[in-house]
């Protein structure tokens, strides 16, 4: 039986009700092994680092993902509740949604397709890659020891291509369809909290916005918006005449026209944290209107038009389904979306996303969400240790960073696992060679920070 430190056991046993006892014990081994091992995050790599390379029942650990009966949806719910209790116990819950491409090849990966690879593309160079497209929900919450907001993944869905669904005679679900179902889930899991969903322009879809605002307790959505959309004034009061009441008022100028109109009155606003910068002064103008298109639901929204007085970034428009939200709050919510991109980079660099290898359909649909969720699990595991003794920030002459990053957090968890976990399988009667404490510290540092 694997022996773990008490603070780590407290976090991991949150998920114990989802599994039978043998499966949960195997899951603990795979989870700890995935945290400790560098390089590829395969099940066999996790077994090697745990000293189980000679285990004849290695297939039981593979079956945690390929055959065992447990609910990924329920695991997402438990992880979200744990994250909310630890990092967002009060106030609005800001949730980011975005999709990422897991580059994968192989004949047995049935749901792979060719997609636009946003990471490898640029404004002048369009790149396509083969892989799996995942829609990921992340909790955007301040992490005390980092001094900023982190994006903590908790819920993933595999969005298949239209061609895959057509070949199997299934109704194709778009990104906005998946997003609507996922947001409805978190609304059901947290019925009493105010939820704000932050998304890119791919989710500025009337059907998605209408579904979120018509939930029993509406979910606020903030997205980037196109500048040439048809906007209208609110419908006038009914006149009492016969006939269908009007859905909209007069046509309003597009946001593109507002942007270049010399009569537009711009307000100066200083954003506390603008993407990767600490502060940024921007100019903005705001208003309320209806977004209307024949055959689609009518969406009331507040729009915010932003431009840079220095002309260093392209002007952009944001929309919010909460008409009472202030433009300053809308901007503050939206700029947190950049942390999603940071998390996608971190899970590839430090947790081995895209390096796992499995061929079972069920294992493919489970292991990638598990590695993404491992980012949040590591943060939860580190929290009690940091509250008790702080965290060491790895610095160098060429990298004088001041606050902890995810690599420091992962190193802290690895340090306590290496020091306190009983994973040794060496015979007790062995010759021992003494090493210096300085050399041991260097070896520990290399192991803890290995990617």
pLDDT at residue number 425? 45
Q: How confident is the model at residue 350 (pLDDT cuts 50, 70, 90)?
A: very high
Per-residue pLDDT for 331 more than 80? yes
As for how many domains the chain has, the answer is 1
Helix (H, G, I), strand (E, B) or coil at 115: strand
Q: What is the pLDDT of residues 15-44, one digit of tens each?
A: 999 999 999 999 999 999 999 988 889 999
Instruction: Say what the pLDDT of residue 289 is.
Output: 96
pLDDT at 274: 75
- In this prediction, residues 56-70 reach a mean pLDDT of 94
Query: What is the model's pLDDT at position 358?
Result: 82
Q: Secondary structure of 6-38 in the HEC alphabet?
A: HHHHHHHHHHHHHCCHHHHHHHHHHHHHHHHCC
Domain range for residue 308? Answer: 221-237+245-324
More confident residue, 248 or 24: 24
More confident residue, 211 or 5: 211
pLDDT for 195: 97
Give the C-alpha separation, 342 to 26, whole Å: 31
DSSP H or E segment with residue 327 = helix 327-335
pLDDT of res. 434: 67
Q: Is residue 250 part of a domain?
A: yes
Task: Identify the weakest region by mean pLDDT among 23-32, 259-268, 390-399.
Answer: 390-399
Domain-embedded: residue 169: no
Reported as type and span, the H/E element at residue 281 is: strand 280-291
Structural domain contains residue 109: no
End-to-end Cα, the chain, rounded Å:
27
Q: Report yes or no on 342 lying in a domain.
A: no
pLDDT bucket at 422, cuts 50 / 70 / 90:
low
**CA–CA distance, 270 with 101 (Å, rounded to integer):** 34
Q: State residue 236's pLDDT score.
A: 87
Which candidate, 175, 291, 137, 294, places its Cα nearest to that of 228?
A: 291
Per-residue pLDDT, 1: 59
Tell whether the model's pLDDT for residue 359 goes beyond 60. yes
pLDDT of 276 > 80? The answer is: no
Quick one: which H or E segment has residue 438? helix 437-449
> Does residue 204 sit within a domain?
no
Tell me which of 444 and 188 has the higher pLDDT: 188
Q: Give, in order, the Cα–Cα distances in Å from 356 to each of 39, 59, 73, 98, 111.
A: 10, 16, 21, 22, 16
Does the pLDDT at position 423 exceed 60? no
Q: How confident is the model at residue 357 (pLDDT cuts 50, 70, 90)?
A: confident
**pLDDT > 80? residue 421:** no
Establish if 90 belongs to a structural domain.
Answer: no
Asked whether residue 442 is assigned to any structural domain, the reply reads no
Distance (Å, rounded) from C-alpha 38 to C-alpha 36? 7
> Is residue 286's pLDDT more than 70?
yes
pLDDT in tens, 107-155: 888 899 999 888 888 878 889 999 999 999 999 999 999 989 999 999 9
Cα-Cα-Cα-Cα torsion 434, 438, 440, 445, nearest 10 degrees, comes to -170
**Better-scored residue on pLDDT, 101 or 2:** 101
Which of 384, 358, 374 is CA-nearest to residue 410?
Answer: 374
pLDDT band at residue 309 under the 50/70/90 scheme: confident
Mean local confidence (pLDDT), 189-198:
96
- Cut 0.85: pTM above it: yes
- Structure confidence at residue 446 (pLDDT): 62
Strands 231-232, 267-271: parallel, antiparallel or unpaired by DSSP? Answer: unpaired
| pLDDT at residue 406 is higher than 80 | yes
Structure tokens, 368: 């990638």
User: Under a CB-based contact definition with an 8 Å cutoff, are residues 102 and 131 in contact?
Assistant: yes
78 in a domain, yes or no? no
Rounded mean pLDDT of 376-385? 97
- Mean pLDDT (the chain, rounded): 90
Cα 120 to Cα 40, 115, 151, 207: the distances in Å are 21, 12, 22, 30
Report the C-alpha gap between 295 and 234 in whole angstroms: 18
Residue 67 clears pLDDT 60, i.e. is over it: yes
């Amino acid at each position: 039986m694997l022996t773990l430190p008490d603070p780590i056991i407290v976090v991991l046993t949150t998920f114990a009700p989802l599994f039978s006892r043998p499966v949960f014990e195997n899951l603990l081994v795979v989870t700890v092994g995935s945290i400790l091992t560098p390089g590829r995050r395969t099940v066999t790599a996790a077994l090697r680092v745990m000293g189980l390379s000679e285990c004849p029942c290695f297939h039981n650990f593979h079956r945690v993902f390929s055959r065992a009966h447990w609910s990924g949806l329920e695991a997402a719910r438990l992880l979200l509740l744990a994250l909310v209790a630890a990092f967002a116990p009060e106030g609005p819950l800001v949730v980011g949604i975005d999709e990422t491409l897991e580059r994968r090849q192989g004949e047995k990966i049935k749901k792979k397709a060719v997609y636009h690879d946003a990471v490898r593309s640029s404004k002048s160079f369009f790149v396509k890659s083969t892989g799996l497209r995942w829609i990921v929900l992340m909790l955007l919450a301040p992490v005390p020891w980092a001094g900023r907001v982190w994006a903590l993944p908790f819920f993933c869905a595999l969005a298949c291509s239209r061609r895959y669904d057509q070949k199997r005679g299934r109704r194709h679900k778009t990104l906005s369809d998946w997003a609507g179902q996922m947001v409805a889930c978190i609304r059901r899991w947290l019925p009493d909290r105010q939820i704000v969903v932050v998304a890119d322009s791919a989710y500025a879809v009337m059907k998605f916005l209408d579904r979120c605002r018509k939930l029993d307790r509406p979910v606020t959505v903030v997205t980037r918006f196109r500048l040439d959309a048809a906007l209208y004034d609110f419908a006038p009061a009914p006149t009492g005449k016969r006939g269908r009441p009007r859905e909209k008022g007069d046509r309003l100028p597009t946001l593109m026209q507002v942007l270049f109109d010399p009569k537009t009155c711009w307000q100066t606003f200083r954003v506390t944290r603008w993407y990767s910068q600490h502060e940024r002064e921007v100019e903005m103008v705001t208003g309320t209107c209806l977004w209307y298109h024949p055959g689609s639901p009518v969406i009331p929204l507040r729009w915010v038009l932003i431009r840079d007085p220095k002309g260093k970034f392209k002007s952009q428009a944001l929309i919010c389904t909460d008409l009472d939200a202030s433009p300053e709050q809308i901007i503050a919510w939206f700029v947190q979306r950049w942390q999603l991109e940071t998390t996608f980079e971190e899970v590839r660099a430090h947790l081995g996303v895209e390096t796992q290898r499995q061929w079972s359909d069920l294992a493919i649909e489970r292991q990638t969400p598990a590695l993404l969720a491992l980012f949040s699990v590591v943060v939860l595991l580190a929290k009690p240790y940091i509250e008790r003794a702080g965290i060491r920030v790895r610095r160098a002459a060429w990298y004088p960073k001041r606050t902890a990053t995810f690599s420091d957090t992962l190193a802290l968890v690895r340090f306590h696992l290496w020091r306190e976990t009983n994973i040794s399988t060496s015979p007790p009667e062995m010759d021992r060679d003494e090493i210096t404490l300085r050399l041991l510290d260097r070896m520990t540092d290399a192991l803890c920070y290995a990617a």
